[in-house]
Structure 1
Amino acid sequence: MNKKNVSKWVIGIAIVALAMFLIFRLTGNKEIQGEEIEVKEGDISTYYNFSGSIEAKNKSTIFAELPLQVSEFLVEKGEKVEKGDVIYKSSTGQNVKADISGEISKIGVEENAQISPGTEIIEIVDYNELELKVKVDEYDLNSIKVGTKVEVTVNALDKIFKGEIVDISKQGVYMNGVTFFETLISVESEEGIRVGMSAEAKVLNEESNNTKILPMNSIEFRNDNTPYVNIKKDKSVKEKEIEIGITDGVNVEIKSGLEIGDKVFIPKVETNNFGPPEGVRRSDDSEVNKDE
């Protein structure tokens, strides 16, 4: 046998060996890899979320109605006043009083300056009564009403406060194809909350307590959106149809098809150089079947 024939013979053996190796990898009797998750008992809730900013419920801004001069301010910025307190005197001898109780947040002019009509002179803010102003779109409007309890999270403080819806505008504002309704939520006052801080309001939508739950990633769907889970037994995996309820995006309620303590299988998807992922490879001894 000459060298040329020997080379062809060696190459042929190598090709056959490679083919046998690939066949073995594709049809080898391997156990499907993955993890089993147990159905547990728990609570699950869904919420509507709205964003807005903290505002003062009561605020008063005093403007000049006529040309005038302030001869003397009787208060300073940051000072607290009661309704009826004299806050400044005009050059004509008029005593101007506070129309609400609160804190002097701004003094807009100087004493003895000539003031024209419409000029902002002084601002009073009541920081003891705060509210969150949010915009609710028309599709979520039926989910809220005056008196609805709300959880308010002030982002800068990373703290949750109790709130209650106190007003819903009867007239909406059309923006980007959707109509929004201004909604006011009372917020309990606490040290650290400042007017203008951003906040999130959370309103309960649905809840189910002491129910069967599974992680969302353990649920699969057929082409007709029928939900099912995988059940592993020995070296085979079967599909089992279930009925699901509400989900919070992490867990899902199992209404029927499984009981607490049952285990479902999540195949492990691994990529390799030969053939389909290990976790979904099917063979005669290790295959996935629909539950009969």
Structure 2
Amino acid sequence: MRNAKRARRVKHVLLLLVLAGIATIAVGALRPLFGAGEALTYESREARLGDISTHMSFGATISAKHSQTAMAMARTSVSEVYVATGQGVKTGDKLLKLENGSTYVSEIDGTVDEVAVSAGDAVWPGATLVQVCDFDGLQATLKVDEYDIHSISVGQKCTATVVSLGLSFETEIAHINRISSGGSVAYYTVTADIDAPDSVLPGMEATVAIPDGSVEGAVVLDMDALAFDEEGAYVLVRGAAGTYERKPVELGIDDGMAVEIVSGLEAGDTVYFADGAAEAEGGFSFGGIYKALFGETTVIRDRSETGGRSETGGPGDAIGGGETSGWNGRESD
């Protein structure tokens, strides 16, 4: 009988130890759920006077305005060659003569780029004989689709940049071919003449930037301070009670970084925008539950270049609801 009581006592002690261990583990696991809550973090931006310019940018290729490729028209052989590679020629200068009596002359002023045959060589229809190119008359050739072609006109100022060389040339649109190339979307060939050094060659990749709009001395604001809802753009401002309130703004042009404020703000006005979350002491947090179950990813943002100060608002700071959305703008000069 005494042994049975002793066995029950030992069993009770072991059960209490197991329960104490489970409680200790549970407290450690659930502590993050009751430790820290979350509060929105705000950054500020100031409206200011500034200039904004935008442009349309197109991919282009450098090409020669004038070139000539002399090709054989019949099966024969070369009788005489009158020029050499790199030689300058004028319109009408002889290039070569074939055994069938055909004589080829230069159709342009330029430079002999290649002599593909020698005297005595056999040739056949379509064979290349001599190439002549005017390397002083280069142009940037671009394709513009039907959605943008209405914004392009002959004489329009533009900047052509040779990508590999980093060279830019101020020029203007010289010609628009108004007969489109095929496809589901119509494309039109547009050219701009460039006065380029010898290092620029036909076939090089280029870009052409065409001014699209500009404002000077306007009220401008960094675009990350904007928010949008079904009624349009708005910003957050501090109300008399210290809460954040929505203020509608009318937008003008933007360059992808800053936007013109047509109405709603004056230069010097300060606006705010939510930027992530900061931890607040105490309280139960569903964020804590998520972190405890699945872990946490921390994103560090360098604010050293923003010039804005950070403010942290608690759950009592009203921001008027709504979600912020991104904004895509044109490229900047």
Any idea what SS the aligned residue of 1:283 has?
coil
Q: Confirm or deny: 8 A CA contact 2:77 2:99 kept in the other structure.
A: yes
The normalised TM-score by structure 1 is 0.81
| Alignment correspondent of 1:208 | 215
Q: Confirm or deny: 8 A CA contact 2:278 2:312 kept in the other structure.
A: no
| Alignment correspondent of 2:269 | 262
Is 1:114–2:122 an aligned residue pair? yes
Partners of 1:225 and 1:279 lie apart in 2 by: 27
| Alignment correspondent of 1:51 | 59
The normalised TM-score by structure 2 is 0.72
Q: Label 1:157 to 1:48 Cα distance change in 2 as closer, same or farther (>3 A).
A: same
Partners of 2:61 and 2:145 lie apart in 1 by: 17
Greater strand proportion: 1
Partners of 2:214 and 2:245 lie apart in 1 by: 31
Code of the aligned partner of 2:210:
V
Is 1:178–2:185 an aligned residue pair? yes
Count residues with an aligned counterpart: 277
Is 1:130–2:161 an aligned residue pair? no
Q: Confirm or deny: 8 A CA contact 1:282 1:288 kept in the other structure.
A: no
| Alignment correspondent of 1:154 | 162
Residue 45 of structure 1 and its aligned partner are, at CA, apart by: 2.0
Match of 2:175 among 163, 167, 170: 167
| Alignment correspondent of 1:287 | 318
Match of 2:253 among 218, 221, 246: 246
Per-residue CA distance 1:143-168 (angstroms, 9 max, x = gap): 01122121111110122212222221
Partners of 1:152 and 1:141 lie apart in 2 by: 17
Per-residue CA distance 1:71-122 (angstroms, 9 max, x = gap): 3322211222222322224446765432211111122222111223332211
Code of the aligned partner of 1:232:
R
Structure 1: gaps (5+ residues): none
Q: Confirm or deny: 8 A CA contact 1:46 1:204 kept in the other structure.
A: yes
Higher relative contact order (CA 8 A, sep 6+): 2
> Percent identity between the aligned chains?
27
Moved more, 58-67 or 140-149: 58-67
| Alignment correspondent of 1:227 | 233
Partners of 1:280 and 1:244 lie apart in 2 by: 28
Any idea what SS the aligned residue of 2:51 has?
strand
Residue 58 of structure 1 and its aligned partner are, at CA, apart by: 0.4
Residue 274 of structure 1 and its aligned partner are, at CA, apart by: 3.5
Moved more, 233-242 or 35-44: 233-242
| Alignment correspondent of 1:60 | 68
Code of the aligned partner of 2:122:
Q
Moved more, 265-274 or 194-203: 265-274
- C-alpha RMSD of matched pairs (Å): 3.4
| Alignment correspondent of 1:274 | 285
